[in-house]
Structure 1
């Protein structure tokens, strides 16, 4: 395996590792490095990928320069290597929603995390990241996303997950069909009455780039993509309710 590095927006780097044996067709594991005065890594990755991903980070900035670590929710592929990063970057701190800090990260992180209020902006010098809580979307009570208002990049976490090897960046691609194909394999989304409204709220941010944890990054009409995803989940919820 190798971890590749591509700049998908100004100062936003996709670090991607293909896991070839997952789900038959393979599965991408992506982290995102925001190069700034206070560099931030979104997704820590699992522990076993730390050597590969840290070497990829070092192609852009020395690992010890990292100031912030963030991720969508508490799950091993998102934060399994969290404490390895904290050890490698002595000034780094985890930034997460206050709920996630209270429920898990105050105990799990080797250094106290920085709790973020709903809608709070973290200015890292060159990128302004707004904390967007998304409880149970796609899963996890403490789920959150970050929207880089400087570049219009939505750090999507597990939203729009797809299976297979993915190019670094696509334009106006059909992400939604691939996402529902993956959903039919993994059944990973917590389907509730708030799933579609939460995703519509993300569309209202009008992002210019979608940075997927599992799949390609994408540009084009990102709001339309998110609204189509929301409508797909709304239809699935209606279909489930009709069978009860």
Structure 2
């Protein structure tokens, strides 16, 4: 399985428009972060987790010509608003599968009503095959996916475990029951927004506490704000087996 970090930034990305913050002015490519998303590939399968405002740019950067589906963690704009840009895949492949909580699908229907239109549908709009996720395992290609429920403030969000890899973003709190689904991992991807406390995201210390409890072989932090600091400086301070992810990083699992 290959995991590609399409974006590792928070909702505004880095640099933030008009910001004079030192991280936003950095010339290091690792300090430039698109909105958070990953591409997961194995055998002949190719899936994306989340489809934010940078989706088109991310697909072009990785030369992606086929996707088998999109998994949605939750309905916030930085995770869903690129949905219209699946059209080139739809025109080549036909219907595109999506996997999401029913609440997320209802939000997509409001924002992209023309996609879900049944009668007199605009011919240029894509058509989706909707798969509703509950907190039960489901098949993705020839693999089993285990959803992991976390809380983003008070909002339910899904993380996903696929084999020995798990992807969890926009978490603030995770119950012990759900945390235990993440034991025995080779690779954990987890959000770590910034140094300071945040009301709906893990900060760096809280993310490190989860890593210490789970003890995965390797952890990558994502959904990173400019307030976390310069990539190279923070990465050098992290424990062995823990690193900051960065855009376009590819890892094999």
**TM-score normalised by length of structure 2:** 0.54
Work out which of the two has the higher radius of gyration on C-alpha atoms and give 1 or 2.
2
The aligned counterpart of 1:70 is 71
The change in CA–CA distance for 1:181 and 1:203 in structure 2 (over 3 A counts) is closer
Deviation (angstroms), 1:211: 5.1
Gaps of 5+ in 2: 25-31, 116-126, 173-189, 225-230, 243-253
Q: Which residue, 88, 91, 94 being the options, matches 2:98?
A: 94
Q: Which has the higher relative contact order, 1 or 2, with Cα contacts under 8 A spaced 6 or more apart?
A: 2
Gaps of 5+ in 1: 1-9, 161-174, 191-195, 223-244
RMSD: 4.0
The aligned counterpart of 1:57 is 62
Asked if the contact 2:36–2:79 (Cα under 8 Å) also holds between the matched residues in 1, the reply is: no
Q: Which residue, 127, 133, 136 being the options, matches 1:119?
A: 136
The change in CA–CA distance for 1:182 and 1:204 in structure 2 (over 3 A counts) is closer
| Equivalent residues, number | 177
Asked if the contact 2:50–2:73 (Cα under 8 Å) also holds between the matched residues in 1, the reply is: yes
The change in CA–CA distance for 1:44 and 1:219 in structure 2 (over 3 A counts) is farther
The aligned counterpart of 1:141 is 155
For residues 212 and 103 of structure 2, the distance between their equivalents in structure 1, rounded to whole angstroms, comes to 23
Q: Which residue, 163, 166, 169 being the options, matches 1:157?
A: 169
The change in CA–CA distance for 1:220 and 1:118 in structure 2 (over 3 A counts) is farther
Asked if the contact 1:14–1:33 (Cα under 8 Å) also holds between the matched residues in 2, the reply is: yes
Instruction: Please give the residue correspondences for 1:187-206 in structure 2 after superposition, counting only pairs within 5 Å.
Output: 187-189=199-201
For residues 73 and 116 of structure 1, the distance between their equivalents in structure 2, rounded to whole angstroms, comes to 11
Q: Which residue, 128, 142, 148 being the options, matches 2:144?
A: 128
Asked if the contact 2:50–2:70 (Cα under 8 Å) also holds between the matched residues in 1, the reply is: yes
Asked if the contact 1:159–1:212 (Cα under 8 Å) also holds between the matched residues in 2, the reply is: no
Q: Which residue, 37, 40, 61 being the options, matches 1:34?
A: 40
For residues 165 and 133 of structure 2, the distance between their equivalents in structure 1, rounded to whole angstroms, comes to 19
